[in-house]
Structure formats: C-alpha cells, structure tokens
Structure 1
Amino acid sequence: MELQQMRYVVAVAETSNFTRAAERCLVVQSALSHQIARLERELGARLFERTSRRVRLTAAGEAFLPAARQALEAAERARAEVAAAGGVIRGRLAIGAISTVAAVDLPAVLKRFRRRHREVRISLRTSPSEELVERVRQGTLDVAFLGLPLGVRPTGVHGREIARDDLVAVVAPDHPLADQEDVDVRRLAEETFVDFPAGTAGRAHSDAAFAAAGIRREVAFEVTAAALMARLIRQGLGIGMLPSAFVPELPDLRVVRLRDAPARIEHVVWSRSQPSPAATAFLSALDISPAER
C-alpha cells in the first residue's frame, strides 16, 4: 500500500470521477485506474462502484477513506516537521472563521503570513461557531475564530478570548428607526428580522436579548452570511442585530444602539493536540503561544 494510491483514492472520492481525479493528480487516467485496481486487489475489496454515469464509494471505500486521509495528513505533517527543524515552515494551514469576525483583520493577517511563509498552503472557510469548534476538534481545521454569547466557552479545544463587543440594531437608511440614537429591545419586537439560523451561536446572542425581555419577535429570513444579511436589510425586508465592531463594514446601513445590549465574545481556538509548524507560526503571528490553555 502506497501513499500515492491513497492520494488517488481520495481524489476519486472527492471528485466522483476518474478523469477529473487524474487531472487533479497530474497523471493519465489509465495510470490512476491501474493503481486503484492494484490497491483493491491488495485489500481484497472494491473501493468504488463504477457505472457509466457515476462513481461512488462502496462500504469498504467509506471505511478506507478516513484512514487514507489520516495517513496522508500524517505524512505531510512529518515532512513539515522535518522542514521546520531546518528553519522552513511549510505544509497546510486550515483556518476557519465566523462571517462577522472583527477582533482581527483576518485578510491582512493572512497576507502578512503568506508573505513570510510562502511554502504554506493556506485555506479559509466561514461557518457557524459550533461547526468551527467541531472541525478544530476533528483536526480538519488548525485554527478558528468564533463569536459566542457571554458565559459560553468552547469545549474540547484550547483557546483565548480576544475581544468583547455589544450587539447593535442595523436598519436600512430609510427605516423609521434610522435616525434614532438608541432604542429598547421591546421596540424592536414590532419589526421583521433577518438573522442567523436558529440553534447557531450567532443567533443565540439576539435570541437571548428578547428572551430576557420576555418578548417574542418574527425572524422571517435566516441566512448564514453577514453579507447576505446586509443585502436583505438594505432592501428594507427586515432589520438585524450585529456586533458593533463589525458594522463599519456596512457603511451604507444605519446603526441604532441597544439599551441593555447583549454581549458577544470573540475567541480564537486551536487543537489540544500539538499544532503543526504552520499553525504554530500562525498563532505566533497573533502573539499567542500554543502552550496556552
């Protein structure tokens, strides 16, 4: 069993197509197919079901895929550790962030990091905080930036609080509240809302404010990205509640401060396992030591 064979299996599993997998791996399809067939003979099981229309994993393939990915990641980690011992940082750096991260200028941080460590392959994904924590726990993300309600802490990971902020109401320029300096949460209960999906940490902030006031509100539009939320608000379809540190990103919308505003805490988290050289270098760029708990 060879690492190259595992790379081919992962590529076919992710593309569901032998031709596209071969293109990704920079080999001719016949060579890729031959190596996978050879691996299947060694394992004594077919990894893929092939038809004229599709390719999909068999039960054996489903069982093999996670172990293949782990083996490839371990091999890459080993190469990265050897390079780091010689003073060179390389390998993968997978970053996750909520769409309203405001405590750090993430694009600027990533730009500086890439200039300094050009051999590191950087990836970034945005997701809700609870999904990001789970991905860090599983090892598919190295570092993640979260936003959580006051009193809630991420579990199963190492981390640090990096900022605290209050939520504010965000409305269209022609909204009746646009000229208000501040407003009570009870007044907002009359409005239609655009918010993050129910059950997410981002939604929990605003839900808690209305629950504390003992009132209900209507959330007509549930979205996962702050940019889409802003577009809906801009069209007058509803109002939103966002962190005050983030709203400068939306200069064409009006901000109304909330009395007894709910607080949000931003965290940066990383795995309890020893971070990779690339993750360690990234945390160091944030003046964080991976040894912190």
Structure 2
Amino acid sequence: MNLNHLYYFRTLAKEEHYTKTAEQLSITQPSLSHAISCLEKELGVKLFEKQGRNAKLTKYGALFLRYVEQSLEMLDEGKRILMEASGTKGGFIDIGYIYTLGSHFIPEIMNQYMKEKGKNNIHFSFGQGTTKQVITELKEGKYDFIFSSYIKGEEELEFYPVIEEELVLITPKNHILSNCDSIDLSKTTEYDYIAYSKNSGLRTVIDQLFVKIKNHPKIAYEGEEDSSVAGLVAAGFGIAIVPKIPLLETMDVCVIPISAPEIKRYIYLVTKKNKYLAPVVKDFIDFVKKNHAIA
C-alpha cells in the first residue's frame, strides 16, 4: 500500500473536494484521482461517492479513515523521534493558535523564549484558525500544542490557562454609543451586532454574557476572525464585542470598556494527552507555563 496514497486519502476526506485537495497537496487532479482509484482497487471497496462537486466518504471510507489517521500519526511521531535521536535535525516545534494571538502574543512569547534560550537550531512552524479548526488539527497530529479557547467535552486534551484577555465593545466612529466612557451590555441590545461565527470559541463566551443579562441582540452579520468582525463594524454594519488587541488601533472604530456584566475570558495552552512531545517542545511549554501562569 502506497504511503503517499494514504496521505492523499486523509486530505481528501477532510477537504471533500478533488480540486482543492490536489491544490493543497501540490499534485495534479488526475494524479489524485489515480491514487484514490488504486486504493479502492486494492481494498476492494468504494471509499468516496460524488455529491455534486464534492467527494463524500462512504461508510467504508469513514471506517478506513479512523485507522489511516492513527497509523499516519504514529508514523509521523516515529519519524520525528528518529530524527531527534540520530541528531540529524534540530528541534522542531509546531504551534497552532487562534487568530486573536497572531499580531502580539505569539511574536512576543517567541521573542522572550529565544532571548532566554538562544536559537539552538530550533525551527518553528505555525498555523492559525478558529478554536474548532486548531483543536481538530491538534487531534489529527498537525501541531505539538495550540493556544485556543476552552471547549467542553474534549477529554483527550489538557487545557492550561495562560492569558486573560480583555473584551471590549467596538462601534463605528459615528455611532450613538461611540462617546461612552464605558458601557453596560444591557444598554446595547437594541443595536445590530456583528458576531463571531459559531466555529469560534469566542462566540460561546460572548453568548454567555448575554445569558447573564437575560437579553440577546440581533445578529446582523457574522465574521470568522477579528479583522473581518472589526472591518464590518468600521464600515457601519453594526457593533461588536472583541478582544482588546493592537489591531483595533489601526481600524476606524471606537473602543469602549465593558462595565457590566463581569467578564473572564481566558486563552489556554492545549496539549493532547499521552502524545509524545520532543524535549524542545516540552521545554517551550514549561517556559510558557512558568512565565504566563494565571493564579
């Protein structure tokens, strides 16, 4: 069984689209189709079925995917362990994080770590997305650890709080609330809101604020990450609750502290239980916990 074909199969199962998968893998679509056909012929079952332009897993494909993911994750870990043991490569750290952290926290923590430890042939790779995306990719083995919101029910993951983020209300410059020194959210529900999509861990936190005041605003539009939400606000489509991040200083919005209800918003360092972590990864995690512990 061709190992590359298994990687292609896993990616297609995630993307559910031949063209997008081929582009992501940097191969031609005929090559991808041939690889999947070879797998299906070898296994004697149909792995995908077409639904319009999409490729959906059959029940046999879904069953096979469970074992392919486990096998590839073990192979990737074995490859990394071998390279470290042989000394043929330096240390590698693969980090995922939510969009909020890209402009300040990630660069800052890397700078602090490198100043204390030196470069020491350490190589970083990064990926970002919504909480749902980076947690899924952590479980798939793409990252050593991630920074994200907390998600209930993820028993195979460990969440360690490392950042407390301030949430603020932002409005267009000419909005009736724009001159407020601070704001009680109960005074804002009559206005259109720009909300984060339900893939964002922040959406749950913000929804709980409105549960506290027993009132919910009208959601006029949704955005997946901070710049899109703030951009819609700046364009006058509504108001929004967002983390207080440096990006806001460059946007045409007014930033207003929230006086009520009380808000506790944490970002967590998330690892997968019982997953092998290289010494350099463990060292970086220990550094983050030591310097960003929340009492």
TM-score, normalised via structure 1 length: 0.72
Cα distance in 1 for residues equivalent to 2:135 and 2:47: 31
Unpaired stretches in structure 1, ≥5 consecutive residues: none
* Equivalent in 246, 249, 264 of residue 247 of structure 2: 249
Query: In 2 relative to 1, CA 256–271 (structure 1 residues): closer, same or farther, beyond 3 Å?
Result: same
1:185 Cα deviation after fit: 2.0
In structure 2, the partner of 1:268 is 269
Give the CA deviation at 1:201. 3.5
The aligned counterpart of 1:193 is 193
Farther-moved stretch of structure 1 (254-263 vs 84-93): 84-93
Q: Deviations over 1:11-54 (max 9, x none)?
A: 6766637x949x8469x959x948963x555534455679xx99
Deviations 1:223-252 (A, max 9, x none): 2211111111001111111223x2x21113
Q: Which of residues 145, 148, 155 is equivalent to 1:146?
A: 148
Q: Tell whether 2:122 aligns with 1:124.
A: no
The 1-side partners of 2:241 and 2:255 are apart by: 9
Given residue 271 of structure 1, which amino acid in structure 2 is its aligned partner?
A: K
Structure 1 position 124, deviation (Å): 0.9
Distance 1:48 1:190 in 2: 48
Cα distance between partner residues in 1 of 2:289 and 2:166? 25
Structure 2 vs 1, CA of residues 281 and 72 (structure 1 numbering), >3 Å: closer, same or farther? farther
Residue type of the alignment partner of 2:18: S
1:160–1:92: structure 2 CA closer, same or farther, 3 Å change rule?
closer
User: Which of these two proteins has the greater Rg computed from alpha carbons?
Assistant: 1
Does the aligned pair in 2 maintain the 1:148–1:201 contact within 8 Å?
A: yes
Which consecutive residues of structure 2, in runs of 5 or more, have no partner in the other structure? none
Q: CA deviation at 1:271?
A: 0.4
Q: Secondary structure at the match of 2:186?
A: helix
* Percent identity for Structure 1 against Structure 2: 21
Per-residue displacement from partner, 1:166-200 (whole Å, max 9, x unpaired)?
A: 32111122222222211222221232111123585
Q: What one-letter code is carried by the residue in structure 2 that aligns with 1:125?
A: Q
Indicate conservation of the 8 Å contact 1:16/1:55, yes or no: yes
Q: Is contact 2:199–2:224 with CA below 8 Å preserved after alignment?
A: no
- Is the partner of 2:266 in helix, strand or coil? strand
Q: 1:86 to 1:232 in 2, by over 3 A?
A: same
Q: Aligned to 2:99, what secondary structure does the other structure show?
A: coil
Alpha carbons of 1:43 and 1:155: their partners in 2 closer, same or farther (altered >3 Å)? closer
Distance 1:42 1:183, change over 3 A: closer
CA RMSD in angstroms comes to 4.2
Is contact 1:208–1:262 with CA below 8 Å preserved after alignment?
no
Report how many aligned residue pairs link the two structures. 273
Q: 1:133 to 1:139 in 2, by over 3 A?
A: same
SS class of match (2:67): helix
Question: 2:93·2:122 contact (CA, 8 Å) conserved in 1?
Answer: no
